Amino acid sequence: MAAAIRHYNFIAKNKKTAHGYEISFPNIPAAQAVGENYEEAAYYSYRVLADFLKHLPAGEAALTAYTLTTIPAATEPDVFYSQVSVTDDFDPHKMVTHFTLPQAPPAEIRAKARQLAALAERQTHHETA
């Protein structure tokens, strides 16, 4: 039987701006990436996160100090939070973003999903200008 791969989860704050996207990690000071579209910002955020994690002291305690504890409520209309799952080798190519929706009636879930999709839609600021 193959050994299970350990995953760590980190909170990402995603913000749609007039020029693209900013992704930061509230539990990790100064870890921020920007991109013209969401996919580009996510790619750079994985690189930033991997670089930060690879420079931590060895050991579980140093790593878990920065992992997911809670997901803040988004209070700004152009901000949403997600979870980034990271394998124990910190490979940015294996990182995956998970979007979360609160338990709610189906109509509310659909509305929240549409809102999230609109925030993360693939557009550059050139297309929206």
- pLDDT confidence of residue 122: 58
Alpha carbon distance 21, 41 (integer Å): 6
Cβ atoms 23, 102 nearer than 8 A: no
Cβ atoms 14, 38 nearer than 8 A: yes
Asked whether residue 59 is assigned to any structural domain, the reply reads: yes
Asked whether residue 118 is assigned to any structural domain, the reply reads: yes
β-sheet with 20-24: strand ranges across: 32-35, 20-24, 7-17, 79-87, 96-99
The domain that contains 29 carries what CATH number? 3.30.160.250
Asked whether residue 36 is assigned to any structural domain, the reply reads: yes
Kindly report, residue by residue over 10-37, the tens digit of the pLDDT.
999 999 999 999 999 998 988 999 999 9
Asked whether residue 50 is assigned to any structural domain, the reply reads: yes
DSSP 95-126: -EEEE---S--HHHHHHHHHHHHHHT-S--HH
pTM here is: 0.82
Asked whether residue 1 is assigned to any structural domain, the reply reads: no
The segments of the chain whose pLDDT lies below 70 read: 1-3, 122-129
Asked whether residue 2 is assigned to any structural domain, the reply reads: no
Query: Which residues span the domain enclosing 11?
Result: 7-128
Q: What is the DSSP letter of 34?
A: E
Asked whether residue 29 is assigned to any structural domain, the reply reads: yes
| Number of compact structural domains in the chain | 1
